[in-house]
Structure 1
Amino acid sequence: MTVEDARFGLKRCVTLPGPLPLDGGGTLTPVEVAYETYGTLNADGSNAVLICHALTMDQHVASPSPRTGKPGWWTSMVGPGRPIDTDRFCVVCVNVLGSCMGSSGPASVDPATGAPLGMAFPVITIRDMVRAQALLLDHLGIANLAAVIGGSMGGMQALSWAATFPERVRACVVIASTARHTAQNIAFHEVGRQAIMADPRWNGGDYYRGEPPAAGLAVARMAAHITYLSEAGLTEKFGRRLQARDAKTFGFDADFQVESYLRHQGLSFVDRFDANSYLYITRAMDYFDLAEEHGGRLAEAFRASRARFCIVSFDTDWLYPTPESRAIVHALNAAGAPTSFVELSSPYGHDAFLLHSPELERVVGGFLRAGA
């Protein structure tokens, strides 16, 4: 299968024979990979761009999700004439390993039992996700990437691509991301995982024939969602305003608008995401430490790279704050990699990279055009 005839928003899923070696030991065989392509691969295969998605996103980067019916999660950035221009580039977006949107994960069926793998699925890493993406690109006949682009966990994958397959990447765009998870990052994820595993319906991960641990997953999402926002943004949007009432109830209903908002976020999330996938992907993010993979020195991760780098942070992002981006920039400078860096101003915190941002669009579009 090739992508020479790919049309905008073409959805595909392929089973690759593998084997895929895993950082935790062993291999994964076969490997299911769900992906979408946008645009057309040129004759010499030089215009491929890989977009890597964040924790709870998917491969539907610029076309409606068949699960929710909502528009793609980065339609402001990807499309004809947009910063990641599908009239110029063949864009590939891959559902990460461990997810629940078509790629191999805990909800995948074990052919030996006919039941979902659940917690028998191996623990995976960001680098494992990248290796699975490389297998897909090999299958599609894409040897090199004009660029790999990602925000948040997608940025971790982009960095891992540059370090793991330096000969395959000509440009790398990392937005609102980090080269390793801090203790605070791990702590927030652990709260979410414990909320899921404390739900009686989790049943050790074996819930696929019954009711999922919706309450635990909703709480996990609520806790995580707070980290995606800024205090200023929450104050501006909600303040201490009450929700559809004139006075406090002196009970535990959602008196405040912000409480109602978080409950809605939690409940809507359980309709589109698998609890076990949440466990696996957050663990992969917590294990991510690019310096550790290269002898403890982050600069060593980029020694073999010949890519141009663009690093972007947001001033109100306290999940992956600007100092985390600066640490990446310093390592890239030490490795002699051509690097651009900008901190953008936004009231929206970490989520700013997902929202319409003319400044971000100018930065990304300009960086890609400069490499033409």
Structure 2
Amino acid sequence: MKGESVGLVETKKYTYSGEIELESGKKFGPIDIAYETYGDLNDKRSNAILICHALSGDAHAAGWHEGDGKPGWWDDMIGPGKTFDTDKYFVICSNVLGSCKGTTGPASINPETGEPYGLDFPVVTVSDMVKVQKKLIDHLDIDQLLAVTGGSLGGMQALQWAVSYPDSVRFSIPIATAARSSPQQIAFNEVRRRAVMSDPKWNEGEYYGDEPPKDGLSLARMIGHITFLSDESMRQKFGRKLSDKEDYSFDFSTDFKVESYLHYKGGTFVERFDANSYLYITRAIDYFDLTNGGERSLREAFEDVKSKFLVIAISSDWLYPPYQSKEIVRALESNDIDAAYSEIKSSYGHDAFLLEPGQLNHIVRDFLSQVSVGDIQIDVPIIGKDTPIEKASEVMIESEFTHLPVSSEKGKLVGLITAWDIAKAVAEDLDSLKGAMTKEVVTASPDESIGSVTRKMRKHNISALPVTDEADKILGIVTSDIISQLVGRERPVPGAAGSEL
């Protein structure tokens, strides 16, 4: 049913048995990667969307675990009929390297010692996290992701994916993030780390088996949570209301509701997160800088990027203010990269990307619906006009394509051969394609809208169109099953008047 949860899900684990080279130059492995998937991967493996979580998130982005009292952290966004519609998309969410939620981190067992890594775990970066995610995507046999998205640290991962693996991402949707951590962001992270490290029970990271540094981690979370909110949201939610009392206590106990709220947030956090992971992940955020410390401009950092971008900011976010998102858009546009900017109007502050599913739904759906043919075309075997029927049949069977473009010696489109054409040619004992192929071929251009292509398919009752450039050179093919799976049939594509796609 539309708008419902994906239901009961389980976290899976993939172990990458090799080593990766970290940004620090160190080699590290093997690595366990915790992940969840929702929806089905289509036959062409072209409908996968990677969801990247924020600092304290995990792989459980949607659905329910057996016995849980609440669903995954982005359940409002992922599921049948939701923004990331699992009737169309294959949605993946993995836990980041260095975390304590199933992927290898400082609390994991070091195979060389049989003890938790602790501070022997190497310092990692966002680039390292993305490198590990790429190993998972390779394991799932996905060559190219339809989209990568996430908020905060998740947005940094989305940006890093587009820069590190430009051929592997079609759309990038970074939310409430920056291209590099600012001095203020680094300062807040350092204060939070010092809160943890000042707790005597932290014990230089060697607390496993003993009582963890709950007081320090709780304080760190309290500090961090303040940055996630806005002055307006705190005023609306708490004002100067007192906590279970009618007057000031005139001591240092908890007087105000906002104090009680922060204590609650800190107390619940220590029950679900590892202190060392908190240190490592905040450090990774500090190190994030697509300009490599100023060695290159942000424009230069995006020079090789190929994906289309939707950059989303939050109006009241003072941790990652909108000017940082606009800086990303300007750098992308200076490279003639297709980049859209949108701003969520909210008083919730940085947390709005988790609390404003309605606005996000409208913004992201509209962006994903504006796909062009070039975004979804796929490679297809091309056969020459003199190819024997038997050989053409073999290519069609091996490739599992029912439509094959036929080219001239110079690579130009001269016809199209279908499975029906081949069957007819065999029945009529034809030797070559010339008498069997369709010579008057309906084609699509890479810049053409999906709505336009859909209307062509309906008008001519065909299910695949070769994609050609202005010189009739064959670029690929677009099929009706890919269109229906990636875009869907229940809403029109913006700009395609009369389309029911």
Number of the residue aligned with 1:149: 149
Question: Counterparts of 1:311 and 1:112 in 2: how far apart (Å)?
Answer: 43
Contact 1:68 1:272 in 2 (8 A): no
Q: Evaluate the alpha carbon distance shift between residue 201 and residue 66 of structure 1 in structure 2; reply closer, same or farther with a 3 A threshold.
A: farther
Number of the residue aligned with 2:135: 135
Q: Evaluate the alpha carbon distance shift between residue 284 and residue 348 of structure 1 in structure 2; reply closer, same or farther with a 3 A threshold.
A: same
Number of the residue aligned with 2:229: 229
* Superposed counterparts of 1:244-283, under 5 Å: 244-283=244-283
Contact 2:107 2:117 in 1 (8 A): yes
Number of the residue aligned with 2:460: none
Number of the residue aligned with 2:301: 301
1:291 aligns with 2:291: yes
How far is the alpha carbon of 1:305 from its aligned partner?
A: 1.8
Number of the residue aligned with 2:167: 167
Percent of pairs with identical residues: 50
Question: Counterparts of 1:354 and 1:169 in 2: how far apart (Å)?
Answer: 23
Question: Counterparts of 2:199 and 2:69 in 1: how far apart (Å)?
Answer: 29
Aligned AA for 1:217? L
Question: Counterparts of 1:36 and 1:13 in 2: how far apart (Å)?
Answer: 9
1:333 aligns with 2:339: no
Contact 1:311 1:339 in 2 (8 A): yes
Number of the residue aligned with 1:370: 370
* Superposed counterparts of 1:91-106, under 5 Å: 91-106=91-106
Q: TM-score, normalised by structure 2?
A: 0.72
Question: Counterparts of 2:364 and 2:269 in 1: how far apart (Å)?
Answer: 29
Aligned AA for 1:209? G
Question: Counterparts of 2:92 and 2:83 in 1: how far apart (Å)?
Answer: 15
Aligned AA for 2:161? W
Contact 1:23 1:125 in 2 (8 A): yes
Helix, strand or coil at the partner of 1:33:
strand
Helix, strand or coil at the partner of 1:93:
strand
Q: Deviations over 1:23-47 (max 9, x none)?
A: 0111111011000000111111100
1:117 aligns with 2:117: yes
Contact 1:7 1:39 in 2 (8 A): no
How far is the alpha carbon of 1:67 from its aligned partner?
A: 9.5
1:36 aligns with 2:31: no
How far is the alpha carbon of 1:10 from its aligned partner?
A: 4.2
Q: TM-score, normalised by structure 1?
A: 0.96
Contact 1:22 1:124 in 2 (8 A): yes
How far is the alpha carbon of 1:162 from its aligned partner?
A: 0.1
Contact 1:59 1:94 in 2 (8 A): yes
Question: Counterparts of 1:82 and 1:200 in 2: how far apart (Å)?
Answer: 46
Q: What number of residue pairs does the alignment pair up? A: 367
* Superposed counterparts of 1:20-99, under 5 Å: 20-64=20-64, 69-99=69-99
Number of the residue aligned with 1:241: 241
Contact 1:158 1:173 in 2 (8 A): yes
How far is the alpha carbon of 1:7 from its aligned partner?
A: 9.4
Aligned AA for 2:266? G
Number of the residue aligned with 2:176: 176
Q: Evaluate the alpha carbon distance shift between residue 24 and residue 7 of structure 1 in structure 2; reply closer, same or farther with a 3 A threshold.
A: farther
Contact 1:10 1:38 in 2 (8 A): no
Aligned AA for 1:189? N
After superposition, the CA RMSD in angstroms is 1.6
Structure showing greater relative contact order (alpha-carbon pairs closer than 8 Å, 6 or more residues apart):
1
Helix, strand or coil at the partner of 1:116:
coil
Q: Deviations over 1:127-182 (max 9, x none)?
A: 00000000011111111100001111000000000000000000000111111111
Contact 2:8 2:66 in 1 (8 A): no
Helix, strand or coil at the partner of 1:115:
coil
Question: Counterparts of 1:295 and 1:248 in 2: how far apart (Å)?
Answer: 54
Contact 1:7 1:38 in 2 (8 A): no
Number of the residue aligned with 1:350: 350
Aligned AA for 1:82? K
How far is the alpha carbon of 1:20 from its aligned partner?
A: 1.0
Question: Counterparts of 2:297 and 2:66 in 1: how far apart (Å)?
Answer: 42
Helix, strand or coil at the partner of 1:221:
helix
Tell me which moved more, 349-358 or 320-329. Answer: 349-358
Aligned AA for 2:55? L
Aligned AA for 2:95? N
Aligned AA for 1:305? V
Question: Counterparts of 1:360 and 1:190 in 2: how far apart (Å)?
Answer: 31
Helix, strand or coil at the partner of 2:154:
helix
How far is the alpha carbon of 1:68 from its aligned partner?
A: 6.2
Aligned AA for 1:277? S
Question: Counterparts of 1:65 and 1:294 in 2: how far apart (Å)?
Answer: 44
Number of the residue aligned with 1:3: none
How far is the alpha carbon of 1:294 from its aligned partner?
A: 8.1
Q: Deviations over 1:309-364 (max 9, x none)?
A: 00011110000000000000001001111011011210100000001431211001
Computing the radius of gyration from Cα coordinates, the structure with the larger value is 2
Number of the residue aligned with 2:359: 359
Q: Evaluate the alpha carbon distance shift between residue 276 and residue 91 of structure 1 in structure 2; reply closer, same or farther with a 3 A threshold.
A: same
Question: Counterparts of 2:43 and 2:356 in 1: how far apart (Å)?
Answer: 33
Helix, strand or coil at the partner of 1:132:
helix
Please list every run of 5 or more consecutive structure 1 residues that lacks an aligned counterpart in the other structure.
1-5
Contact 2:10 2:65 in 1 (8 A): no
Q: Evaluate the alpha carbon distance shift between residue 295 and residue 153 of structure 1 in structure 2; reply closer, same or farther with a 3 A threshold.
A: same
